[in-house]
Amino acid sequence: MTEADWSLPDDRDAVRTALVSWYEDDHRAFPWRETDDPYEILVSEVMSQQTQLGRVVTAWEAFLDRWPTVEALAAADRADVVGFWTDHSLGYNNRAKYLHEAAGQVVSEYDGEFPETPEELQNLQGVGPYTANAVASFAFNAGDAVVDTNVKRVLYRAFDVPDDDAAFEAAAGELMPGGESRVWNNAVMELGGVACEKTPACDEAACPWREWCHAYETGDFTAPDVPTQPSFEGSRRQFRGRVVSALKEYDELPLSKLGPRVRVDYGGDSGAEWLRDLLADLERDGLVEVERREDDGESATVARLRR
């Protein structure tokens, strides 16, 4: 797919200047936007993957109060890190495990200094292409154009870029000014999060791209489908979190005592077999340990947090 398949404006400099000026004049204040510390930015990126940004602020600040440096996190007890994740409802607990392991890699493999390019950052545990590029952009100003759901929506509406990943990547890369990934990626994501949400606020948010925007001109604000987060209530994620919380409170628990602490209707179809399956997931993720014990001729399966 070539640039001829969409309609980027001829005056790219004007488009870039308008967006950056709009962002610098007024944008949402998040503390991780005020730092270029790669550790602090990595923590914010991992936390933001499943949590609204407003809620991330409190968790991010509390996390950094407890583990202020990558060395402090690397030296932490993993069970404590996972417990923090659960206590702050930050989504899948294995992200806490990966963050802890990534900190250990930075300390042991990189002498405490973060790698600076998206390619190198992907060597860290749990750091995929998007997170690596975000850290490279915001910490080192050395990233590529970020393409997330919000950015896709902006490009689709403003410049009629087709709903195709390769097209979005190409258009985003063409628009981003060289060597300015920090301010540009912040600005274009802010545009998608403030002015060009599912329900657009073009005039209310003073969108800087109105004069070029195809959707604003035509009134057609359709956009690619946005995946919705499955309901947390009653989900497997919720029950995984309850297991971790219970095992954090008690050093270990037999399944007969753990089950009722995970769900009030424990038993039947949601009984021991269901709980063993849930624990098997957590064991594969390296979060819990499960052991079969014999005591006075009676056997019991016991679970505890892995340390």
Tens of pLDDT, residue by residue over 163-201, are 999 999 999 999 999 999 999 999 999 999 999 998 899
What span, in angstroms and rounded, lies between the C-alpha atoms of 84 and 248?
10
Q: How confident is the model at residue 64 (pLDDT cuts 50, 70, 90)?
A: very high
User: Can you read off the two tokens belonging to residue 108?
Assistant: 């042991």
Residue 45 annotated in active site: yes
Full-model pTM: 0.77
pLDDT tens-place string over residues 120-139: 999 999 999 999 999 999 99
The answer to whether the CB of 209 falls within 8 A of the CB of 12 is no
Q: Is 247 exposed, middle or buried (0-12, 13-18, 19+ CB in 10 A)?
A: buried
- Find the catalytic residue in 3, 34, 45, 197: 45
Q: Greatest CA separation found in the chain?
A: 82
**pLDDT value of position 230:** 60
Q: Dihedral, CA atoms, 80, 81, 83, 86, nearest 10 degrees?
A: 170
In Å, how far are 71, 104, 131 from 113, measured between CA atoms? 10, 11, 17
The answer to whether the CB of 34 falls within 8 A of the CB of 186 is no
